[in-house]
């Protein structure tokens, strides 16, 4: 069983409905999707924007972008493009886009204010920013339960610097976006389970890949590594149901408006 590149679309199916409604892409809009991955949200935006609009997805992973381009071709979308680019520094055309979207692609910036300034330059004055980010780690069972299974004998993943929860704190998000030139910063909670797979083997393969488990276990002797994997499997089994393997989660939909340059 290997990791499926379409994992995030399945994992986030319930979140995506909230995100799509909040994004509210209108005909003829030009859309930037930051950290687009395999491009589901970019393709949905391109469909909503129609022939008079467009969508550009950027990601640092060429592997994910290959999948995004293939799926866009299959859907015969001719108003969507993908670029391998670091959104923190990429020289986007100035004031090009009406909206910037990101589904869990903005939490990993080394200097978030500088990165959002760069994104803001690409947006029209008054353009929208709509992004999904994880809420606090202790409200995300997918992180706490799996880390607990793995961390008793392996070092827990660091939560300093860029990480999945770096935009979890509303005050921090407000400060970063305000400093970067955005206004009307609002956060709305989304509480939906994340889906890790139809069954235990799918979910187990996903966790091994996403948590880089094999690298972490390489430091352990065979007995300890086996015990850790046993705990991981037990955690996954405990979350298996008729609806698949699911963990509770909480995220924020963050929205903001790009301030006109003269107001800064």
Ligand X SMILES: C[S@@+](CC[C@H](N)C(=O)[O-])C[C@H]1O[C@@H](n2cnc3c(N)ncnc32)[C@H](O)[C@@H]1O
Q: 75 or 237, CB closer to ligand X?
A: 75
Site string for ligand X, 79-118 (x = CB under 6 A): -------xxx--------------xxx--xx---------
Shortest spacing between CB 105 and ligand X, in angstroms? 4
Residues 6+ apart with CB under 8 A from 20: 41, 44
Among 25, 31, 32, 36, binds ligand X (CB under 6 A): 36
Q: Please name the residue that has the structure tokens 């959104």.
A: 87
Considering the rule CB under 6 A, would residue 37 count as an interface residue with ligand X?
yes
In the complex, least distance from residue 120 CB atom to ligand X, rounded to whole angstroms: 15
The minimum distance between CB 108 and ligand X, in angstroms, equals: 4
Q: Which stretch binds ligand X (CB under 6 A): 21-29, 60-68, 181-189, 233-241?
A: 60-68
Helix (H) or strand (E) holding 138: none
Binding-site size, ligand X (CB under 6 A): 22
Tell me phi and psi for residue 202, to 5 degrees. -60, -45
Among 55, 56, 64, 80, binds ligand X (CB under 6 A): 64
Q: Closer CB to ligand X, residue 58 or residue 194?
A: 58
User: Using CB under 6 A, which of 60, 185, 200, 205 touches ligand X?
Assistant: 60
Tell me the DSSP string of 198-252. SSHHHHHHHHHHHTTHHHHHTTS-HHHHHHHHHHHHHHHHHTEETTEEEE--EEE
Q: 95 vs 46, 184, 211, 241, 258, CA distance in Å?
A: 18, 19, 38, 47, 10
Cα Rg for the chain, rounded, in angstroms? 19
Comparison of 60 and 145: residue with beta carbon closer to ligand X = 60
* Tokens 């990429």 -> residue: 90
Residue 170's SS3 state is: helix
Tell me how crowded residue 263 is: count the other CB atoms within 10 A of its CB. Answer: 8
Interface with ligand X includes 194 (CB under 6 A)? no
Residue 120 contacts ligand X per CB under 6 A:
no
Judged by CB under 6 A, the stretch of 34-42, 73-81, 216-224, 253-261 that binds ligand X is 34-42
Tokens describing residue 3: 């990791």
Burial level of 238, CB count in 10 A (0-12/13-18/19+)?
exposed
Site map for ligand X, 146-165, x if CB under 6 A? --------------------
User: Whole-number minimum distance, CB 8 to ligand X, in Å?
Assistant: 3
Minimal distance in Å, beta carbon 100 to ligand X? 12
Which residues sit at the interface with ligand X, rule CB under 6 A?
8, 12, 34-38, 40-41, 58-61, 64, 86-88, 103-105, 108-109
């Amino acid at each position: 069983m290997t990791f499926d590149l379409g994992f995030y679309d399945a994992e986030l199916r319930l979140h995506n409905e909230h995100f799509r409604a909040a994004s509210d892409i209108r005909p003829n809009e030009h859309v930037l999707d930051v950290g687009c991955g395999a491009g589901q949200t970019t393709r949905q935006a391109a469909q909503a924007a129609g022939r008079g609009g467009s969508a550009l997805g950027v990601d640092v992973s060429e592997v994910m972008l290959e999948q995004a381009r293939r799926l866009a071709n299959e859907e015969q979308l001719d108003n969507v493009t993908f670029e391998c680019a670091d959104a923190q520094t990429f020289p986007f055309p100035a004031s090009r886009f009406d909206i910037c979207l990101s589904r869990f692609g903005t939490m990993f910036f080394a200097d978030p204010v500088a990165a959002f300034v760069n994104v803001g330059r690409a947006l029209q004055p008054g353009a929208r920013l709509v992004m999904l980010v994880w809420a606090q780690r202790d409200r995300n069972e997918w992180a706490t339960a799996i880390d607990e299974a793995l961390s008793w004998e392996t070092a827990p993943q660091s939560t300093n610097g860029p990480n999945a929860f770096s935009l979890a704190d509303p005050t921090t998000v407000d400060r970063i976006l305000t400093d970067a030139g955005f206004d009307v910063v609002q956060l709305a909670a989304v509480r939906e389970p994340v889906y890790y797979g139809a069954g235990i083997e799918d979910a187990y393969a996903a966790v091994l890949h996403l948590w880089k488990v094999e690298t972490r276990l390489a430091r352990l002797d065979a007995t300890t590594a086996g015990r850790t994997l046993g705990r991981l499997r037990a955690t996954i089994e405990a979350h298996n149901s008729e609806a698949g393997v699911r963990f509770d989660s909480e995220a924020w939909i963050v929205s903001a408006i790009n301030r006109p340059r003269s107001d800064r």
